[in-house]
Amino acid sequence: MFYHVKELQYRAKPERPDPVYAKKLQEILGGQFGEISVAMQYLFQGWNTSRGLEKYRDLLMDTGTEELAHIEMLSTMIARLLDKAPVKDQEHAAKNPVIEAIMGGMNPQHAIVSGLGAMPVNSVGVPWNAGYIVASGNLLADFRANLNAESQGRLQAVRLYEMTEDRGVKDMLSWLIARDTAHQNQWMAAIAELEAQEGRVVPNTFPRELQKQEVAYAFMNLSAGEESSTGRWASGKSMDSMGVFQYVQHPVPFAKKPTIPPAPPSLHNTPPMLK
C-alpha cells in the first residue's frame, strides 16, 4: 500500500511567478525522462520482480516511491510558478528573442486545461505515455535502462538549473540533481553486483552455441573512414571475457538479395512494374 504525508520531501517554492519557466519545467515532470517516467518504471519493475530477489524488489520500491515525492515537488513548483502570474511577466519573459522563438511564451493549456496547475505533459505539451518506461523482468537489462534514465534526467535538470536565476527554483533543482547522483550510483552498484553473478551480456541464459559465434564479437566498418578501429571495442579481449574483438574493415553480405512476391490482387497494392 501507499501512505501519503502532507509535507514535501524538499522545498518547492520559487521567488516569483514565471509561467514561461513553468512550461520548461514540465519536461522533467512529464517528459520521456521525467519523474513520472522513472516513478512508473521503478514501481512496475518492482512489482514484476519475482521471489528470491527481495533486496532488488525493495530497492526498486524504495526508489519508485521517492520518485512519486519528486512528482509532487515539481507539480507544486509548477503551480507556484503559474500562480498569479501577471501578463506583464509573461511579456517580459518573452523579450529575449531566442526564448520567444523556442518557447513561444506561456503554455495556454496551463490556464485553459489545468487552471494554472501542473500537467502530465512535457515542455511542449506532449502527453506522458507508458511507452516511455522499461520493465522487462530482466533486472540487469532494467537496471541499465534505469541508469540511462537517471543520466538523462540529471542532464535535463542541470540544463534547467542554468536557465533560471530564481533562487527558490535553483534550490529545489539542486536537491533533485543530488538525488539523481545518488540514484545513478545505486544503479551502477546494482549493475556491478548482477554482472558479477551473471556476466555482462543480457540475457545470460541463452545457449551460446545457438548464436552465430563468428559475428558475436565482430565490429563492422559500415561507414566511411576507419577511426572506429582505434576504439576498445575493435580489438582485444571482449568485455564479457568470452571472446576477442575483431575489426572487420570490409564487411560483406551474408545473404543474397531478397525477392518478395507481390501481394494478392484483393489488397490493391501497386502492381509490379513491367520491364
Instruction: Give the residue numbers of the binding site for Mn(2+).
Output: 35, 67, 70, 150, 183
Which residues participate in the annotated binding site for Ca(2+)?
Answer: 58, 62, 221, 223, 225
Reported as half-sphere exposure (CB side, CA atoms, 13 A), residue 130 has a value of 4
Which residues participate in the annotated binding site?
Answer: 35, 58, 62, 67, 70, 150, 183, 221, 223, 225
CA pair distance 248, 204, nearest whole angstrom: 26
Burial of residue 102 (CB within 10 Å: 0-12, 13-18, 19+) is: exposed
